[in-house]
Amino acid sequence: MNESIMKIGRALVRILNKYHHNQRCPRHFGLSEKLYAAEIHTIMLIGQYPSAGVTELANRSGTTKGAVSQMIQKLERKGLIERSGDPESGRRVNLRLTSKGKVAYFSHERMHEESDQPLISFLEKLNPDQIKLIEEFLSRIETGIDKRNET
């Protein structure tokens, strides 16, 4: 394996380690209490897809329905979301952000607007072929992780 490929591999491991560490550190999102990454990301999904059920939220987040159900219960206890029965379906549950949940949602959006700008500026300068290459690279990483998770 040549040195450039090894360097990319080491960088990817470093990035994944930093991401993993970041996921375990709770942060303030406009509230007095701190929220973990899984909590704020579930809030973001509920805010972006208000008609999504547990299955759709699980698919969009890359987690299990059980994990999403547990997170919904946790966020409900914290007063960040509310759920109600869907009048059209007896089994389906409608989720919505409370006013406290909306504060966290918009605070998280603002944080990303600021922190993601350097990467967005970089990506906007790339040509379509370069973008496609990055998309393919990320897709292959995701496929590899999915295969490892199957075992």
Encode pLDDT of 40-53 as tens digits: 999 999 999 988 88
Residue 71 pLDDT level (bands cut at 50, 70, 90) = very high
Task: Give a yes or no: residue 63 inside a domain.
Answer: yes
Residue 37 has pLDDT above 80, yes or no: yes
CB atoms within 10 A of CB 128: 7
Task: Give a yes or no: residue 151 inside a domain.
Answer: no
Task: Give a yes or no: residue 140 inside a domain.
Answer: no
According to the model, what pLDDT value does residue 11 have? 94
Q: 38 is in which domain, residue-wise?
A: 3-115
Task: Give a yes or no: residue 16 inside a domain.
Answer: yes
Task: Give a yes or no: residue 36 inside a domain.
Answer: yes
Q: What is the CATH number of the domain that holds 86?
A: 1.10.10.10
Per the structure, the count of domains in the chain is 1
Q: Which of 42, 28, 32 is nearest to 81 (CA)?
A: 42
Residue found by looking up tokens 């949940």 in the block:
101
According to the model, what pLDDT value does residue 86 have? 65
Percent of the chain with pLDDT over 70: 96
Task: Give a yes or no: residue 146 inside a domain.
Answer: no
Amino acid at 43: I
Task: Give a yes or no: residue 92 inside a domain.
Answer: yes
Residue 1 has pLDDT above 80, yes or no: no
Task: Give a yes or no: residue 72 inside a domain.
Answer: yes
Q: Are 22 and 37 in contact (CB under 8 A)?
A: yes
